[in-house]
Amino acid sequence: MKTRHYNIPVFIPELACPFQCIYCNQQKISGRLKIPSDEEIVKIIEDHLSTITVGESEVELAFFGGNFTGINIEDQRRLLGLVQPYLKAGSIWGIRLSTRPDYIDGDILKMLKDFGVITIEIGAQSLDDNVLRLSKRGHTSKDTEKAAEMVLKNGFSLGLQMMIGLPGDTLESAAFTARRIVELGADNTRIYPTLVIKDTVLEKMFNEGRFKPLSLEEAVSRSKQLLLIFEKADVKVIKLGLHPSDGLLSGEELVAGPFHQSFRELVLTEIWNDNLKPLLNSSEQDEIAIRVPADQFNYAVGYGGRNRKMLLKNFSKVKFIRDTGLQGRDFGFSQ
Using DSSP's 3-state secondary structure scheme, residue 305 falls into helix
Alpha carbon distance, N-terminus to C-terminus of the chain: 32
Query: SS3 sequence, 191-211?
Result: EEECCEECCCHHHHHHHCCCC
Q: What is the pLDDT of residue 17?
A: 56
Q: What is the pLDDT of residue 255?
A: 93
CA-closest candidate to residue 118, choices 74, 152, 142: 152
Using DSSP's 3-state secondary structure scheme, residue 167 falls into coil
| Residues 228, 233, 238, 243, CA torsion sign | negative
Q: What is the pLDDT of residue 26?
A: 53
Return per-residue pLDDT of the chain as tens, 335 residues: 456 888 999 988 655 555 568 887 755 444 445 678 999 999 999 999 999 887 777 899 999 876 899 888 998 999 999 999 999 999 999 999 999 999 999 999 999 999 999 999 999 999 999 999 999 998 999 999 999 999 999 999 999 999 999 999 999 999 999 999 999 999 999 999 999 999 899 999 999 999 999 999 999 999 999 999 999 999 999 999 987 664 566 677 899 999 999 999 999 999 999 999 999 987 667 899 999 999 999 999 999 999 999 999 999 999 999 999 999 999 999 86
Please report the DSSP string for 84-98 in residue order: HHHHHHTS--EEEEE
Task: Determine the Cα–Cα distance for residues 130 and 208; give it in Å rounded to an integer.
Answer: 21
What are the residues facing 190 on neighbouring strands? 161, 239
